[in-house]
Amino acid sequence: MQVTAPGRALLTGNAAAAWAARLARVDYVPAFPITPQTEIIETLSAWIDAGELDCRLVTMESEHAMVAAAGAAAVTGVRVFTATSSQGLLYALEMLYAVAGWRAPLVLVNVSRGLAAPITLEPDHNDVLAARDTGFLQIHCATCQEVLDSVLMAFRLAEDPRVRLPVIVNQDGFYLSFTREPVELPDPEAAAGFVGPFDPGTLRFRASAPLSQGVAVLGGGPYSYFRYEMHLAAQAALSVYDEIAAEFAATFGRRPPPVEAYRLEDADYAFYMTGSFATRAKEAVDCLRQAGWRIGLVRPRLLRPLPEARLRELLAGKKAVAVIDQNLSLGKGGVLYAELASALYGHRGAPLLVSFIGGLGGRDLPPEEFFAMAGVLKAAAHEGAAPPPRLLFTAEELEEVHRLRAIAGAERARLKESP
């Protein structure tokens, strides 16, 4: 669709991300141009080519180089945007740590997809969670509107002198990236007014004024200082986020919260999850409420920093919470589950937590499974103990694996026959 004017339009998550970068008037976009790169970069490059966006786009030889270029450009004091997905984010991982350590304020959109091996093209969150400890702040989106809004907010967050850390805005592959939904496209002047010009402060790296960002080898003491300062800056981003969200609401009439709470007030039970399948959880909440359940949804949009106090406040007094992890820390379990447990541990009124692993590699989460999870919560509350973690995986899916295995069996039989 040729969207040119502000207003409500059907946009994919990829188009929403590109629009946000355009509205933020980014100066520089380094991009690895080949798979798994996204339509976000394609869209921006078409605008630049048509003279609709005054911006420099440079194609790089890898995502590793792309993030290095993004960080280097950001510390010269220009506004930087970039994007990648799945394996690309992992290839950039070393530089994610490095540029966050430089305190380079830039915004990166990640399109979440399951990681190899085996290979899938559909979304889960192990890619973005691999970047969890890098120093990049993380905003996780559930709708295409949120992608646009979050990128605009992310520039403010990254560039705030109290924070000055890079930000990842995460959207799910397919279910947002390729999916069109109605998106309110802000007026360009209002958007530019909200994001504001980039005040680089002391970020003035110039060829004529050499400066080292990757400072020399330090002992553990100074290293601890710099790393912990990043941690404190990330935590400071919580209150900065609230300020930015208030200003965003005043400008655009929407207020993307750090943690979404849906129909939670009188709830005994709650679902807890991130990403685009959370809108399915809301539909399930509505259905369950119709059937007499007192249940809601809690969805952290900010994952770094994690709004722990807010989570405690929202969940205190609930009987049981189903934590649905669209990721798997192999040998431990769901990442959200472990993080929520640590946030609640030892606090008064902490609910029982029941861990579910679901949606790996884009595997569907149909309404029936939300209904069945609610049933598990009720039983757990009745027992006073949580059951072991459960993979959302059905007999039908196991049969499919067995069919594939039958082919593998035939292969093996042939292998043995051949000399």
Partner 1 sequence: MYRLRFHGRGGQGIKTAGRILGTAFFRAGFEVQDAPRYGAERRGAPIFAYVRAARRPIGERGIIRRPDLVAVADDTLVTIPAAGVLAGVAPHTVLLLSSSTPAEVWRERLQLPGLLLTLPLGEVWEAAAVRFLGATLAGAAARLVGVIPREALVEAIAEELAHLGPSLTTENQVRALAAFDLLAEHAGCVSEGPEPSAAAYEPPRWVELAPEGADLAAPAIHLPATSEAVPTGLWRVVRPLVDRSRCRRCAWICSTLCPDGTISVDGDGFPVIDYQHCKGCLVCAASCPARAIRVVPERQAARVG
Residues forming contacts to partner 1 in the complex (CB under 8 A) are: 1-2, 10, 117-118, 121, 174-175, 178-182, 276-277, 279-280, 282-284, 287-288, 290-291, 293, 364-369, 371-372, 374-375, 390-396, 398, 405, 407-408, 410-412, 414-415
Residue placing its CB nearer to partner 1 in the complex, 170 or 179: 179
Closest of 58, 61, 66, 145 to residue 108, by C-alpha: 66
CB of 202 to partner 1, least distance (A): 44
In whole angstroms, the minimum distance from the beta carbon of 387 to partner 1 comes to 11
Which of 96, 179, 107 lies closest to 139 in space, CA to CA? Answer: 107
Q: Minimum CB separation from partner 1 for residue 402, in Å? A: 11
Token pair for 411: 């292969």
207 vs 408, beta carbon nearer partner 1: 408
Nearer to partner 1, 213 or 279 (CB): 279
Residue 147 C-beta: closest distance to partner 1, Å = 14
Nearer to partner 1, 194 or 370 (CB): 370
Residue 183: phi and psi, rounded to 5, are: -130, 130
Instruction: Identify the H or E element spanning 295.
Output: strand 295-300
Choose between 319 and 347: whose C-beta lies nearer to partner 1: 319
CA distances from residue 223 to 93, 100, 215, 216, 220 in whole angstroms, order as listed: 20, 14, 11, 11, 5
Cβ closest to partner 1, residue 288 vs residue 303: 288
Tell me how far CA of residue 322 lies from CA of 275, 389, 391, in angstroms: 15, 10, 12
Q: How far is the CB of 395 from partner 1 (least distance, A)?
A: 4
Tell me the C-alpha distance between 124 and 111, whole Å: 10
d(CA 168, CA 413): 48
CB 200 within 8 A of CB 274: no
DSSP code, position 397:
H
Q: How far is the CB of 115 from partner 1 (least distance, A)?
A: 13
**Cβ distance to partner 1 smaller for residue 201 or 366:** 366
Q: Give the shortest CB-71-to-partner 1 separation in angstroms.
A: 32
**Residue 217 or 415 having the CB closest to partner 1:** 415
| Minimum gap (Å) between residue 181 Cβ and partner 1 | 5
CB contact set of 70 (below 8 Å; sequence gap of 6+): 28, 30, 80, 82, 99, 104, 106, 108
Contact 318, 329 (CB under 8 A): no
**Cα radius of gyration (the chain):** 22
Rounded to 5 degrees, φ, ψ at 133 are: -105, 15
